[in-house]
């Protein structure tokens, strides 16, 4: 199963579940994967920054990827392979595909500046990993400080047939989606667009032509419903659902502490056993936990999935 440009729906960004002592919690890996499948995810993305990939030893990372792939057998798994050098990127990409991954995701190094530097980087990355591996282009200026114009995205897509998807998380980004879809009307090859940024603009992004979400919000089941409602033309219902979650979603989207919040909620929902991060990681204060509980209780008024037994 290879990723291609028809991908739609929701690919959760999977965190890596740990035991409190820092070991990978394999039972939670399986339970979380099952949860993603049950709630209608159409794919999964693993070993990204939010998956604490930089804290995993090489062999450990690959074993984890294999476990995800095996458990999620019916849906494609994308593996993050961004690395400071092409040798490491190639090694991880080839090994991931051998392990059954459907494709890889590549973010630009934060030292790129000019249009040509960015385009050249992706050309070299494809040369390194091979043209046979479908890849996702991650466009996340807020995090990587690399700014890609729509024209630069078009150049990368046009030059590299193996670029099948854009993980869109520019901010602002709505007009960029429209620009890419307009390029397609003018002849640019079609690519899938899945949106990140914690889902903060997903309500309008799908209306602009995005195919869904690739992000880690702790209620991927809500994201799945939102994409379905929107694509079936139930606009108000889609926004009603989204708006009920937005206060919590915004809270989780905070940089630095976002992962702690996400894991806290996922553990509260029983999707993973513990909210532990491998060291070093940012912890939540007691006040922050209370704020999340309050937000959960508010979401629960509109969405029963947020109604949780007391912590």
Q: Which of 4, 8, 66, 147 contacts a second copy by CB under 8 A?
A: 147
Taking CB under 8 A as the rule, does residue 149 contact a second copy?
yes
Residue 35 beta carbon to a second copy: minimum distance, rounded to whole angstroms: 26
Residue 199 beta carbon to a second copy: minimum distance, rounded to whole angstroms: 11
Q: Which of 4, 5, 158, 171 contacts a second copy by CB under 8 A?
A: 171
- Cα separation of 44 and 246, whole Å? 22
Taking CB under 8 A as the rule, does residue 233 contact a second copy?
no
Binding string, 103-132, against a second copy, x = CB under 8 A? -------xx-xxxxx--x---x--x-----
- Cα separation of 81 and 48, whole Å? 8
Is the Cβ–Cβ distance between 26 and 68 less than 8 Å?
no
Task: Determine the number of helices (DSSP H) and then strands (DSSP E) in the chain.
Answer: 12, 8
Nearer to a second copy, 6 or 254 (CB): 254
Is the Cβ–Cβ distance between 102 and 81 less than 8 Å?
no
User: Using N-to-C axis directions, what is the helix angle for 58-71 and 26-38, rounded to 10°?
Assistant: 40
Nearer to a second copy, 73 or 120 (CB): 120
Nearer to a second copy, 8 or 239 (CB): 239
Is the Cβ–Cβ distance between 77 and 102 less than 8 Å?
yes
The span of 2-10, 212-220, 268-276, 281-289 binding a second copy (CB under 8 A) equals 281-289
Is the Cβ–Cβ distance between 75 and 109 less than 8 Å?
no
The answer on whether 44 is annotated among ligand-binding residues is no
Torsional sign, CA 260, 265, 72, 194? negative
Taking CB under 8 A as the rule, does residue 289 contact a second copy?
no
Residue numbers 35-94 binding a second copy by CB under 8 A: 53-58, 60, 83-88, 90-91
Q: Which of 20, 130, 247, 270 contacts a second copy by CB under 8 A?
A: 247
Taking CB under 8 A as the rule, does residue 184 contact a second copy?
no
- Cα separation of 89 and 106, whole Å? 9
Taking CB under 8 A as the rule, does residue 178 contact a second copy?
yes
Q: Enumerate residues 6+ apart whose C-beta is below 8 A from 201.
A: 171, 173, 174, 195
- Cα separation of 45 and 68, whole Å? 9
Query: In terms of Cα–Cα distance, which of 281, 271, 231, 234 is closest to 50?
Result: 281
Residue list, annotated binding site for pyruvate: 214
Binding site for a second copy (CB under 8 A): 53-58, 60, 83-88, 90-91, 110-111, 113-117, 120, 124, 127, 145, 147-149, 151-152, 171-172, 174-175, 178, 200-201, 203-204, 207-208, 239, 242-243, 246-247, 250-251, 254-257, 279-280, 285, 287-288, 291, 294, 298
């Amino acid at each position: 199963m290879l990723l291609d440009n028809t991908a739609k729906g929701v690919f959760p960004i999977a965190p890596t579940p740990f035991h409190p002592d820092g070991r990978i919690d394999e039972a939670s890996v399986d339970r979380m994967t099952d949860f993603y499948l049950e709630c209608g995810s159409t794919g999964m993305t693993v070993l990204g920054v939010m998956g604490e990939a930089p804290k995993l030893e090489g062999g450990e990372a690959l074993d984890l990827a294999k476990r995800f792939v095996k458990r999620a057998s019916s849906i494609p798994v994308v593996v993050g392979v961004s690395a400071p050098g092409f040798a490491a990127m190639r090694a991880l990409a080839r090994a991931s595909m051998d392990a059954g991954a459907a494709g890889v995701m590549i973010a630009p190094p934060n030292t790129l500046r000019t249009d040509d530097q960015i385009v050249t980087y992706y050309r070299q990355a494809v040369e390194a990993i091979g043209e046979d591996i479908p890849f996702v282009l991650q466009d996340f200026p807020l995090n990587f400080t690399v700014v890609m114009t729509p024209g630069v995205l078009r150049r990368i897509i046009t030059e590299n047939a193996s670029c099948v998807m854009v993980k869109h998380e520019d901010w602002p980004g709505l007009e960029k989606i429209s620009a890419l879809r307009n390029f397609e009307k003018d002849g640019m090859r079609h690519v899938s667009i899945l949106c990140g940024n914690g889902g903060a603009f997903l309500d309008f992004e799908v209306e602009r032509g995005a195919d869904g979400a690739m992000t880690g919000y702790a209620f991927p089941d809500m994201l799945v419903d939102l994409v379905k409602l929107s694509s079936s033309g139930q606009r108000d219902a889609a926004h009603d659902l989204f708006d009920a979650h937005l206060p919590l979603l915004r809270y989780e989207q905070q940089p630095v502490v976002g992962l702690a919040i996400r894991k806290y909620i996922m553990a509260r929902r029983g999707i993973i056993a513990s909210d532990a991060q491998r060291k070093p990681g940012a912890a939540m204060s007691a006040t922050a936990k209370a704020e999340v509980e309050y937000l959960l209780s508010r979401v629960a008024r509109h969405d029963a999935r947020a109604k949780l037994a007391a912590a």
